[in-house]
């Protein structure tokens, strides 16, 4: 409420006289003014009243026993708070000497005798003067409070501007709102989107001492403020059931800017009095500053995200085009007839190596996509982590030898059991060790250590490579982040490997951290996984083969099995891919027929019965799921069992599960290693001299 509209309140007037009759008479005279008359029968009693109250004017009798009026006035003037309070002396006996002494003590008038109308007029003048002085004093206090609030708003603005995140802005808003408005509690809430919400509460010690269920602000007020996009103010005596006394009375305002409502700011329990309109204006200013700061951060993050996307797409283009260029160039070279055998063999190896590099890039992109969409699932089973470490070292040994990098391993002699996905754990180790080898110069060293405690297992990969700068270290596990993303960078890649490491580790209930003493001083990556105390490591776990999750450049060393006597039907609408698979199977000794669609495949089966079908899923018109359904119907009608294997570019875990549930006995992702495909098909080769087909329920290969 403003000072100008403040309700007229009676002020205090002090009357001092030792005669009760005179006191009663003076009270009767002054009662017509409507002011509050306080009576004192002696000087000491008057001084006691002055210790408790401020008076507009003092009517003081001169002639009193003990301490007379002059002595009382002298003591009144010695007290700073009453040094300038107007004093009117009155007496039935007096002369000019008495009057002079009274004026010397700061009296404003000396009345002898007392005339009621004159007295009321004189007292009324000093009462109005007192009122105006009080108004000026209140205005001065109000302006001082506003100035203090503005100073605090300035400090809050500086703190908000320096904040580096939305969460820190919300905390600052809550702290500053409680401080600026002198309240017991302030709460802030910001919802960037459904997945990113931030809230913070600032409390006085008295509020913090309350039980949690009493001090927690309910959502009702905030929801009302957000829905209406308008401020709200409640007085202490407004209905607020269940709210402690110190938190009664509240004020809230939305956090909105440019038509966008991000949340709200609520303050409860003013230390003194009720929240005013001026408090609402201050809170609105604070909310406006906070909302603009949040918008600026979101805009900055959006621009940074867009920049990273553009940079990532440029990197993807470069990384995919580089091996593709080598493949196309060497394909044209191999088309010539004048090449010697050595050059031709070298070209084939280069094409093979670059094709695998492309497959690795595509695999990383698919893994990140599955993580983002929540579709990456683990195949959990008993694992001995020693085998994971050993498999990773074996698969990366050729790459390390090429750079003369020494790999040392420290693993305990006893098993290190864990429930996890062995292939994904292999991928974690392969990515960490692959990074270490990539960024370690020739002649360096990579150390792998496997430690365990009662609570967890640690896999530590340390290298003597180029290290990580302190500025980049906090971002090292972020997607698409690379310490050097320039066109002149020395190392390739998409910047996804470490992000995949973090996601896979967290899916296993663990964590990963990176440490480095700076550029040129190496790096250490520590994967922490929860230790499984009781795990039965059966023969299957002990015999797990850890082939590298991502193919290493070079020829596969596995000996391809032969398919002599096997009849295979290959279905693929891509002519080049269909022909390549047919040639591969034919060279392995199989008799092969091909089809480009479901219709042609079923027609082929009518006059040429295969031992196994290798079918793509993505086919024109009718897809591979339609084919497997019709094949099962056909087999049931004729009393046959024709096993089928899905060979498809739909490589996700969901696609694999769907294919297997549809009736395919195996799901293989393109591109497939020849030895892998031949090993799967070899299981369906009929016994020598026997054309009897295998049952559909034959066990699926792991």
User: What pLDDT, in 10s, does the model give residues 111-124?
Assistant: 777 788 888 888 98
Residue 262 has pLDDT above 80, yes or no: yes
Please indicate, yes or no, whether residues 110 and 91 belong to a single structural domain of this protein.
yes
Assign 664 a pLDDT band (cuts: 50, 70, 90). Answer: very high
Please indicate, yes or no, whether residues 613 and 634 belong to a single structural domain of this protein.
yes
Residue 87, domain member (yes or no): yes
Residue 273 has pLDDT above 60, yes or no: yes
* pLDDT one-digit tens code per residue, 375-429: 677 778 888 889 888 888 887 888 888 889 999 999 998 888 888 888 888 888 9
3-class SS shares of the chain: helix, strand, coil, % to 5 = 45, 20, 35
Residue 693, domain member (yes or no): no
Please indicate, yes or no, whether residues 82 and 186 belong to a single structural domain of this protein.
no
Please indicate, yes or no, whether residues 535 and 582 belong to a single structural domain of this protein.
no
The pLDDT of residue 540 is 41
Residue 479, domain member (yes or no): yes
To the nearest 10 degrees (0 to 180), the angle between helices 598-607 and 624-638 is 20
The pLDDT of residue 160 is 79
The parent domain of residue 352 ranges over 317-371
Residue 59 has pLDDT above 90, yes or no: yes
Please indicate, yes or no, whether residues 286 and 176 belong to a single structural domain of this protein.
yes
Of the two residues 291 and 595, the one the predictor is more confident about is 595
The pLDDT of residue 58 is 93
Residue-averaged pLDDT of the chain: 81
Please indicate, yes or no, whether residues 212 and 192 belong to a single structural domain of this protein.
yes
To the nearest 10 degrees (0 to 180), the angle between helices 43-52 and 69-78 is 30
Residue 173, domain member (yes or no): yes
Contact 469, 481 (CB under 8 A): no
Residues 6+ apart with CB under 8 A from 387: 422, 542, 544, 546
Helical H segments across 377-457, by residue range: 385-402, 422-438
Residue 637, domain member (yes or no): yes
461 membership: H or E segment, kind and range: strand 456-463
Backbone φ and ψ for 592, nearest 5 degrees, come out as -120, 140
Assign 1 a pLDDT band (cuts: 50, 70, 90). Answer: very low
The pLDDT of residue 314 is 64
SS3 491: coil
639: region left, alpha or beta (phi > 0 left; psi from -120 to 50 alpha): left
Residue 156, domain member (yes or no): no
The pLDDT of residue 532 is 61
The pLDDT of residue 94 is 57
Please indicate, yes or no, whether residues 396 and 506 belong to a single structural domain of this protein.
yes
Domain CATH number, residue 116: 3.40.50.2300
The pLDDT of residue 495 is 62
Residue 542 has pLDDT above 60, yes or no: no
Contact 415, 389 (CB under 8 A): no
* pLDDT one-digit tens code per residue, 74-122: 999 888 888 889 999 887 665 666 677 777 777 788 877 778 888 888 8
Residue 701, domain member (yes or no): no
Assign 13 a pLDDT band (cuts: 50, 70, 90). Answer: very high
* Among candidate residues 78, 105, 138, the one where a domain is terminated: 138
Share of the chain above pLDDT 70, in %: 83
Assign 525 a pLDDT band (cuts: 50, 70, 90). Answer: very high
Please indicate, yes or no, whether residues 365 and 384 belong to a single structural domain of this protein.
no
The pLDDT of residue 666 is 92
Domain CATH number, residue 348: 1.10.287
Assign 373 a pLDDT band (cuts: 50, 70, 90). Answer: low
What is the pLDDT averaged over residues 503-530?
89
Please indicate, yes or no, whether residues 117 and 172 belong to a single structural domain of this protein.
no
77 membership: H or E segment, kind and range: helix 69-78
Q: Which two tokens stand for residue 237?
A: 């005596």
The pLDDT of residue 439 is 87
Residue 270, domain member (yes or no): yes
The count of domains in the chain is: 5
Domain CATH number, residue 249: 3.30.450.40
Vertex 222: Cα angle to 217 and 226 (nearest 5) = 170
Please indicate, yes or no, whether residues 335 and 354 belong to a single structural domain of this protein.
yes
Please indicate, yes or no, whether residues 54 and 81 belong to a single structural domain of this protein.
yes
| Residue appearing with tokens 């160039």 | 329
Please indicate, yes or no, whether residues 525 and 613 belong to a single structural domain of this protein.
no
Of the two residues 547 and 677, the one the predictor is more confident about is 677
The pLDDT of residue 427 is 83
Residue 156 has pLDDT above 80, yes or no: no
């Amino acid at each position: 409420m403003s000072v100008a509209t403040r309700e007229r309140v009676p002020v205090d007037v002090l009357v001092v006289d030792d005669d009760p009759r005179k006191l009663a008479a003076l009270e009767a005279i002054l009662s017509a003014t409507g002011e509050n008359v306080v009576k004192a029968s002696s000087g000491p009693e008057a001084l006691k009243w002055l210790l408790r109250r401020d008076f507009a004017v003092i009517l003081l009798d001169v002639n009193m026993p003990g301490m007379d009026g002059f002595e009382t006035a002298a003591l009144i003037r010695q007290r700073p708070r009453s040094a300038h309070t107007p004093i009117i002396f009155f007496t039935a006996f007096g002369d000019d000497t008495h009057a002079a002494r009274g004026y010397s003590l700061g009296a404003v008038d000396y009345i002898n005798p007392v005339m009621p109308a004159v007295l009321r007029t004189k007292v009324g003048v000093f009462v109005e003067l007192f009122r105006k002085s009080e108004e000026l004093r209140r205005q001065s206090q109000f302006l001082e409070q506003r100035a203090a609030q503005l100073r605090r708003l300035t400090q809050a603005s500086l703190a908000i501007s320096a904040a580096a995140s939305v969460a820190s802005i919300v905390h600052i808003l809550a702290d500053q709102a409680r401080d600026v408005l002198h309240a017991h509690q302030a709460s802030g809430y910001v919802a960037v989107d459904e997945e990113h919400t931030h809230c913070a509460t600032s409390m006085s010690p008295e509020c913090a001492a309350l039980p949690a269920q009493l001090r927690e602000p309910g959502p009702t007020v905030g929801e009302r403020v957000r829905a209406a996009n308008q401020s709200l103010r409640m007085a202490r005596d407004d209905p607020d059931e269940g709210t402690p006394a110190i938190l009664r009375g509240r004020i809230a305002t939305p956090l909105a800017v440019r038509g966008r409502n991000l949340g709200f700011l609520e303050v409860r329990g003013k230390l003194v009095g009720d929240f005013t309109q001026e408090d609402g204006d201050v809170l609105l200013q604070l909310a406006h500053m906070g909302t603009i700061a949040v918008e600026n951060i979101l805009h900055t993050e959006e621009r940074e995200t867009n920049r990273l996307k553009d940079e990532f797409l440029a990197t993807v283009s470069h990384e995919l085009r580089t091996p593709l260029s080598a493949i196309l160039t060497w394909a044209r070279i191999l088309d010539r007839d004048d090449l010697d055998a050595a050059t031709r063999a070298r070209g084939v190896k280069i094409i093979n190596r670059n094709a695998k590099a492309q497959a690795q890039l595509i695999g990383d992109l698919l893994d990140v996509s599955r993580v983002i969409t929540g579709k990456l699932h683990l195949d959990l089973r008993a694992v001995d982590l020693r085998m994971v470490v050993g498999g990773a070292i074996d698969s990366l040994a050729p790459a390390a030898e090429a750079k003369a990098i020494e790999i040392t391993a420290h693993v305990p002699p006893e098993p290190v059991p864990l429930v996890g996905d062995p292939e994904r754990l292999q991928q974690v180790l392969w990515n960490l060790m692959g990074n270490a080898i990539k960024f370690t110069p020739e002649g360096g060293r990579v150390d792998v250590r496997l430690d365990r405690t009662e609570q967890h297992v640690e896999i530590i990969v340390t290298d003597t490579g180029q290290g990580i700068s302190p500025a980049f270290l906090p971002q090292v596990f972020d997607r698409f982040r690379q310490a050097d993303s320039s066109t002149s960078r020395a190392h390739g890649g998409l910047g996804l490997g470490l992000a995949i490491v973090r996601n896979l580790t967290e899916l296993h209930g663990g964590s990963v951290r990176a440490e480095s003493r700076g550029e040129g001083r190496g790096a250490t990556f520590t994967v922490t996984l929860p230790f499984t105390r009781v795990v039965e490591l059966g023969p299957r776990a002990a015999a797990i083969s850890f082939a590298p999750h991502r193919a290493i450049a070079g020829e596969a060393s596995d000996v391809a099995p032969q398919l002599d006597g096997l009849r295979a039907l290959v279905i693929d609408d891509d002519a080049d891919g269909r022909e390549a698979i047919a040639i591969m199977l034919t060279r392995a000794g199989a008799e092969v027929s091909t089809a480009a669609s479901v219709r042609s495949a079923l027609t082929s089966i009518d006059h040429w019965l295969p031992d196994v079908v290798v079918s793509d899923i993505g086919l024109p018109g009718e897809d591979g799921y339609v084919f497997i359904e019709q094949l099962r119907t056909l087999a049931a009608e004729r009393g046959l069992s024709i096993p089928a294997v899905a060979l498809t570019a739909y490589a996700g875990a969901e696609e694999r599960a769907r294919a297997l549930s549809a009736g395919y006995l195996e799901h293989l992702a393109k591109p497939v290693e020849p030895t892998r495909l031949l090993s799967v098909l070899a299981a369906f080769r009929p016994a020598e001299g026997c054309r009897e087909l295998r049952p559909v329920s034959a066990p699926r290969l792991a």
